[in-house]
Amino acid sequence: MHVDEAITSRKSVRRFLPKPVELPVLEHILRVAARAPSGNNVQPWKVYAVAGEARERLCQAIYHAAQHEPDRHHPEYAYYPTTWVEPYLERRRRCGLGLYASLGIGRDDKRAREQQMLRNYLFFDAPVGLLVTMDRRLNTGSFMDLGMFIQSIMLAARGQGLHTCAQAAFAWYHKIAREQLPISEHEILTCGIALGYEDPSAPENAFITERASLEEFASLYGF
């Protein structure tokens, strides 16, 4: 797959087929992604991949916590702003409305929205879940490195005919994840990634988020 196609065909898939991802395929994806750049080549990332019974235990533990004690859990870094400003507020609103509309969930259907949110903690039924961490002893720049690594995972997955969904929602449940996996005290759980084969019949997978035009985000001089 040409890199342009991998980038433009990448999307957030929220329902996967029950088709396993073979270990050599996963290892290939991670080895390719490890070529992502990082400042002074510090490579600040770690990945915990779960499948089978390990995935089931993790998912059930986090799902239970999200259902029954969500107020007890908080991420170790701020992903979203405390106050939203434009144009980001409107982009966020359109994304949420578009996703729920694709699922036939009304704006006032709080229970259905909550149930859809909880599906994050099942990796949207993907057979493989990844938890990505970063060493907390590093600094803000390493978050840029981490972003490039995560994007590299998602693009390498497209090269293998797979799809993904990056999920910051897992960051809230780092305490539960530490009970299930050997995540050290020096690591921040930054996100999860669902990895598997897309269910093409799922309506939510037909929802494609829009992008700002080139003129909106780029200033070009001297051309």
Q: For 13-51, write each residue's pLDDT tens digit.
A: 999 999 999 999 999 999 999 999 999 999 999 999 999
Give tens-digit pLDDT for 114-166: 999 999 999 999 999 999 999 999 999 999 999 999 999 999 999 999 999 99
Location of structure tokens 């978050």: 143
Name the phi and psi angles at 21, rounded to 5. Answer: -100, 120
CATH architecture of 3-80+120-209: 3-Layer(aba) Sandwich (3.40)
- How many CA atoms does the CB half-sphere of 216 hold within 13 Å? 6
Domains of the chain, by residue range, sit at 3-80+120-209
Tokens of 138: 């590093």
- How many CA atoms does the CB half-sphere of 92 hold within 13 Å? 9
127 three-class SS: coil
Give tens-digit pLDDT for 38-89: 999 999 999 999 999 999 999 999 999 999 999 999 999 999 999 999 999 9
Give the predicted TM-score (pTM) of the model.
Answer: 0.96
